[in-house]
Amino acid sequence: MTTQPPLIRIERVTKRFGDFTAVNQIDLDIRQGEFFALLGASGCGKTTLLRMLGGFETPTEGRILIDGVDVSTVPPYERPVNMMFQSYALFPHMTVEQNIAFGLQQDKMPKGQIAERVKAMLDMVQMSQYAKRKPAQLSGGQKQRVALARSLAKQPKVLLLDEPLGALDKKLREQTQLELVNIQEKVGITFIMVTHDQEEAMTMACRVGIMKEGRIAQIGTPFEVYETPNSRFVGDFIGNANMIAGAVTGGEGADWTIASSDLGCTITAHHEEPLPNGSDVTVMVRPEKMSIGRQPVAGAINTVSGRITDIAYLGDMSIYHVKLAGGARLQVSQANLRHGIGGRLEHDEEVSISWHPGDSVVLLA
């Protein structure tokens, strides 16, 4: 385990606008070289937190330390931080290379060094052949790369990215996500990105902080927040989830029996911590963790049956919406690997759904 202090320490930071609290007592450490994503719905306070890191807002309470130095009241241009805005904010009258050189000229870097740095940045974002063009002569993806090169030219310790790929179409966004991760790994600079797009956060970040109403609901790797959310909110926010309400009726080791009012039966769920008898819980099961078929899976501990009401065919996989006898609805996704014996499941068919207790997540909040 590394004992290195974090590059960024956010300590009990609160931001109020009048009597509205946009960011509420956030504590967060970010390590050198991390790609961290702040993820949350519109209005949750993620941009306000990013703007405080950049120095564009001052915390009402709390402190922000970068490399051990309290920067809470230090202006943006004196912080070892650069911010890449969603609009890219390129200077329209300057060429690509002039845009990249601008910050270096402001810092009075010698001309030869500027030329060298600009060339290295152009190579890095693969824009060398566009050096003499103006922003209006570039595509959205090319502008994004110039903005990135400009932000990195001054070699900040931290780059803040506000919805960096928001202006790109879906295909280009996916391609650029990987490019951006490769560049981040190459330069080794800490990236902190704000996004409302969970897929983007999961694809790009080492760790994700999920925000809700000014607070951090959970911090973890993409794997952790998806597989072991700490609340119903996070489970619902990331990916699709079946949420099954119930009450604990007993347990053996880490396997708990839960009488589910939703399903009208008892199910078994794995949970390492003790659960008091009678406590209300929500059992989350991801749609891909359930199996679906005409016959029950032999020996399955959790099995329910119902009727297919909808099938969303997505090519590589299908999502089956199933209504149980008592009215509850479950979603099951299945890879369309091959056309199996007996053919595809059809709308209106009676089916069995089963899942392993270890694929349940018991949520108490």
**Token output for 302:** 């959790």
In the complex, least distance from residue 81 CB atom to ligand ATP, rounded to whole angstroms: 17
Binding mask 228-267 for ligand ATP (x = CB under 6 A): ----------------------------------------
Question: Which of these ranges, 43-51, 145-153, 268-276, 346-354, lies near ligand ATP under the rule CB under 6 A?
Answer: 43-51
Does 47 participate in binding ligand ATP (rule CB under 6 A)?
Answer: yes
Q: Is 45 in the site for ligand ATP (CB under 6 A)?
A: yes
For 286, the token pair is 């991801």
The residue among 40 and 235 lying less far from ligand ATP, judged by its C-beta, is 40
Kindly report the backbone phi and psi dihedral angles of residue 110, in degrees, each rounded to the nearest multiple of 5, phi listed first: -55, 145
The nearest distance, CB 62 to ligand ATP, in angstroms, is 16
Distance in angstroms (rounded) separating the CA atoms of residues 1 and 144? 36
Cα-based distances in Å from 251 to 262, 266, 283: 20, 12, 15
* Residue 215 binds ligand ATP (CB under 6 A): no
User: In this structure, are residues 49 and 75 in contact, taking their beta carbons and an 8 Å threshold?
Assistant: no
**Cβ–Cβ < 8 Å for 314, 295:** no
Q: Which of 43, 274, 326, 358 binds ligand ATP (CB under 6 A)?
A: 43
Contact present, 143 and 135 (Cβ < 8 Å) = yes
How would you class 29 by CB atoms within 10 Å of its CB: exposed for 0-12, middle for 13-18, buried for 19 or more?
Answer: middle
Secondary structure (3-state) at 45: coil
| Shortest Cβ 25–ligand ATP spacing (Å) | 15
Q: Which residues of 346-364 are buried (b: 16+ CB within 10 A; e: fewer)?
A: eeeeebbbbbbbebbbbbe
The residue range among 2-10, 39-47, 168-176, 200-208 that interacts with ligand ATP, by the rule CB under 6 A, is 39-47
Q: How far is the CB of 349 from ligand ATP (least distance, A)?
A: 41
Kindly tell me which residue out of 9, 46, 150, 289 binds ligand ATP, with binding defined by CB under 6 A. 46
Residue 58 near ligand ATP by CB under 6 A: no
Among 8, 34, 36, 40, interactor with ligand ATP by CB under 6 A:
40
Chain residues 321-340 in contact with ligand ATP, contact rule CB under 6 A: none
- Considering only residues 196, 212, 270, 323, which one is a binding residue for ligand ATP as defined by CB under 6 A? 196
Helical spans, DSSP H, in the chain: 46-54, 96-106, 111-124, 140-153, 170-187, 198-204, 222-227, 232-237
User: Considering the complex, what minimum distance in angstroms separates the CB of residue 83 from ligand ATP?
Assistant: 14
Please state the closest distance from residue 161 (CB atom) to ligand ATP, in A. Answer: 13
Q: Which of 2, 3, 4, 42 binds ligand ATP (CB under 6 A)?
A: 42
**Binder among 17, 77, 91, 313 for ligand ATP (CB under 6 A):** 17
Provide the CA 189 distance to its chain's centre, in angstroms.
19
Which strands make up the sheet holding 20-30, listed edge to edge?
20-30, 8-17, 61-66, 69-70
Which spans of this chain sit near ligand ATP (rule: CB under 6 A)? Answer: 17, 20, 22, 40, 42-48, 196
